Structure 1
Amino acid sequence: MVDTARFLADLHDLRKIGTYKTGVHRPTYTKEDMESRRWLMDRMTECGLEPEMDGIGNVIGRHKGAGPHLLVGSHIETQNHAGWLDGALGVVSGLALARAGLPVDVIAFADEEGHYGGFIGSRSFIGQLEDAEIDRLANRYHGKPLREALKEAGLEGRPRMRCAEGRYRGFLEMHIEQGTQLESAGLRVGVVTGIVAIRQWKLVFTGMQDHAGGTTMAERRDAGLSAIRLLAEIDRQFPLVCGPRSTWTTGRISLDPGAASIIPGRCEVLFQLRDVDTAIIARMEERLHALVQESNRREKCPCVLEPVSLSTPALCDQALQQALADAAEALAPGAWQRMPSGAGHDAQYIARVMPAAMLFTPSINGISHHWAEDTKEEDLALCVRVLAEGAARYLAA
């Protein structure tokens, strides 16, 4: 039986480290983040696990008994001024399963939130983070090199752990939904079917920097206007080729030189699209390329489409999914559904080396990456019970 009271108490204790309003500010490798990792190692010891922190900041607590084992976890650093459950929920739920006597290793991966790079903790764990990449990575907000941050955090010189071959039957990650699908349907549990691919592109428009008053409208080559017109056309065309859960986002528009009285001679746009279906992704990317080609035929400012990061979907393991689904039906009959994840998670990388699955709790008003993020405590307690029941069913199969 899961001690849900202790589970909730651990979540509330962890949120005290880096408290910001009703949320948490605990960026990667800050003193608050490192304090939370030491807090976690103490809790692991209390659970009878053997804790270790490696040279990238991953923290693992290993079960001392015989297998078969499951790996359970997520991350505990946060976005800036963000919520108290994103990531932390998956790690603390692992502690709850360990306390309940299940043969699990609990892990907190470093920097899932991408302050220094993309999923560097989980990628390091599966052997897909090279030293050369660590050498060149820096903080996306203030530019501090990753090597410097690791030294300041006391991690310099520590070896980086690797996933032990043959130790695990699978990986489980519990997480808040970060959307409104469960809440809108009046449901309390989501069994995740797969994690979306995130395809990020840079669109670079080249025009002519010139004077805003002396250059007539007919003479202008305004890179910003060309970008806006293409983005509007993308938004008009994508609904014709997308799926029911596809998303696309213009995350940044940068004008150069970015002055009120100067026509921008260059515009850079960061654009991404997401879906869990490779065929739908292919249709959307085909339409994106066609729209860029049409823009270059029509506009005075040519656009170059440059790939930034092109991830692939990660489908959740069928047997793990079914174990979670059976547990959800037993503990919350009629109050759960299968659903894809619209966000990226460490599970998508761990799925490359072992079976992986995820469980979602509802998010109140769908809020996440904001200090107002929250979930009802009764839903948190229910979902950790479902996770434990699903883990037990899968291990017994």
Structure 2
Amino acid sequence: MYRCSKERMSEKIKTFSQFGDAGHGGITRYTLSPEDIQARKEFQKRMEAIGAIIEVDDVANMYATLPGSDPHAKRIVMGSHSDSVKNGGNYDGILGVLSAMEVLETVAEQNIPHKHPLTAMIWTNEEGSLYPPAMMVSGIVCYDYLPEAIRGKFQYENMLKSKSVLDSTGTFGAALEKSGYKGDKKYRLNPEQYQCMFEIHIEQGPILEDAGNDIGVVDCVLGMFNYRLRFYGQTVHAGTFPMPKRKDALFAAAQAICDLHKKIDALGYPELVYTTGEIVCHPCVHTCVPDYVDFCIDVRHEKPQVLDSVLSIVKSCAEKEWAGCRCEVERMWNRDTVYWDKTLVGYVKEAAEEAQISHQYVHSGAGHDAQFVAYMLPTTMIFVQSKGGLSHCEPEYSSPEHCAEGATVLLNAVLKADAD
């Protein structure tokens, strides 16, 4: 049983938190921004210092590899993303990169024998904060292996044209060319060169903390669907048009949201989660009754039959008028539950048990690059406890002890896979 260094992990977290420091305890580090390039340079410097070989593929993914004793063995890859959301925290994504670095540093420092090459990886543009969609580049790399319902979204040429949300003249392709990190397609993650992948991540929820456990042995990424509901009314003057004659699209949407909550909650599925996170209102003027409102509903659960029962409720909204307004329902996208490789999940659990680190099985409600890789390679994830369950915000925090424990579990799980 090998252990990673809490001191080294703390130092790495502190150093990388400077790249995109937003001044309030968190970061804004958009993909391929000057701040992201700082993080990438630091990654390369530290990995080269321990003898790792650096490769960069054509969509800016970075790979740092320590050779193994068997020149014919496939690589075992560990990693996550270096980009953040706006005013995000110092752990989401980057902890997976730092943990992979820590594994390689521990292997090099302690001269731990291993037959497979071990690779630490940075994925490009997981968040999609500046250039949508999220998980863009893992979608590109895994394109040929993805289900048909997902694949079309990640066509390479279309992704290069993805426009910056801050500057409509800027594109992902232009940022890639400018970054200096457009490498060679031959270095892309692929099943011919790689045996399996591990991704460690903060939990981004309160389940581990509430249960008093340090590490999550992740068994799947939840299935989900995202639909938009659109309401069509009539704009009239807010001060002159009688209330009984109005067709207020926002009032209609509010009624529908309340009705959805009531009916979905009545299904009685405790692990079901859903939300309305985005609303569009037109004309959005305080003296006008809204004539158009649309909102999204995001629903997640492991079992498809549960998702289907919720979906029937969502679709039924289009069967009636709401406050005199017509309703349309449209599917935006959905995904099936992605289950991790059972052997790798077992290695993670065994590693936690042998290190005497408290742990439990958990699902991932959030999407991660690993879920696309799972269609191409045996893959699994490890979660580290998040204080208060907070993520995608500046107070996001995982203790140095938990981060080091996560890296320790990762290292020993990887060594179990290496012995395969």
State the TM bucket, normalised to the shorter chain.
over 0.9
Query: Aligned-pair distance for 1:297?
Result: 4.4
2:155 counterpart (114, 117, 130): 130
After TM superposition, list the pairs within 5 Å mapping 1:109-148 onto structure 2.
109-115=123-129, 116=131, 117-127=133-143, 129-143=154-168, 144-148=170-174
Residue 228 of structure 2: SS of its match in structure 1? strand
Asked whether 1:322 is paired with 2:325, we answer no
- Match for residue 185 of structure 1? 211
Query: 2: CA distance between counterparts of 1:3 and 1:42?
Result: 20
After TM superposition, list the pairs within 5 Å mapping 1:245-264 onto structure 2.
245-264=271-290
Query: 2: CA distance between counterparts of 1:69 and 1:146?
Result: 29
- Match for residue 122 of structure 2? 108
- Match for residue 413 of structure 2? 390
Assess if the C-alpha contact under 8 Å between 2:223 and 2:335 holds in 1. Answer: yes
Query: 2: CA distance between counterparts of 1:158 and 1:167?
Result: 15
**CA deviation string 1:211-249 (max 9, x = no partner):** 112221121111111111001111111123363222111
Asked whether 1:312 is paired with 2:318, we answer no
Code of the residue aligned with 2:135 in structure 1: it is F
Query: Aligned-pair distance for 1:156?
Result: 6.1
Asked whether 1:293 is paired with 2:324, we answer no
- Match for residue 38 of structure 1? 41
Assess if the C-alpha contact under 8 Å between 1:242 and 1:283 holds in 2. Answer: no
Query: Aligned-pair distance for 1:48?
Result: 2.2
Residue 339 of structure 1: SS of its match in structure 2? strand
Residue 143 of structure 2: SS of its match in structure 1? coil
Matched-pair identity in %: 26
After TM superposition, list the pairs within 5 Å mapping 1:163-242 onto structure 2.
163-241=189-267
Q: Give the structure-2-normalised TM-score.
A: 0.88
Code of the residue aligned with 2:259 in structure 1: it is E
Distance 1:42 1:358, change over 3 A: same
Assess if the C-alpha contact under 8 Å between 2:209 and 2:386 holds in 1. Answer: yes
Query: 2: CA distance between counterparts of 1:242 and 1:347?
Result: 30
- Match for residue 150 of structure 2? none
Distance 1:155 1:336, change over 3 A: closer
Count residues with an aligned counterpart.
394
Gaps of 5+ in 1: none
Residue 244 of structure 1: SS of its match in structure 2? coil
- The RMSD of aligned alpha carbons is 2.0
Which segment is superposed worse, 345-354 or 27-36? 27-36
Query: 2: CA distance between counterparts of 1:111 and 1:268?
Result: 28
Query: Aligned-pair distance for 1:10?
Result: 2.0
Query: Aligned-pair distance for 1:149?
Result: 2.5
Query: Aligned-pair distance for 1:257?
Result: 0.5
Query: Aligned-pair distance for 1:84?
Result: 0.5
Query: 2: CA distance between counterparts of 1:149 and 1:331?
Result: 43
Which segment is superposed worse, 141-150 or 340-349? 141-150
Assess if the C-alpha contact under 8 Å between 1:2 and 1:97 holds in 2. Answer: no
Distance 1:242 1:29, change over 3 A: farther
Query: 1: CA distance between counterparts of 2:98 and 2:27?
Result: 15
**CA deviation string 1:63-121 (max 9, x = no partner):** 33332421110101111111101111111111122223353211111111112122112
Query: 2: CA distance between counterparts of 1:140 and 1:78?
Result: 14
Code of the residue aligned with 1:264 in structure 2: it is P
Distance 1:160 1:241, change over 3 A: farther
Assess if the C-alpha contact under 8 Å between 2:274 and 2:298 holds in 1. Answer: yes
Gaps of 5+ in 2: 108-113, 145-153
- Match for residue 19 of structure 2? 17
Distance 1:280 1:161, change over 3 A: farther
Q: Give the structure-1-normalised TM-score.
A: 0.93
Code of the residue aligned with 1:302 in structure 2: it is R
Query: Aligned-pair distance for 1:369?
Result: 0.7
Code of the residue aligned with 1:9 in structure 2: it is E
Query: Aligned-pair distance for 1:34?
Result: 1.4
Residue 218 of structure 1: SS of its match in structure 2? helix
Distance 1:328 1:76, change over 3 A: same
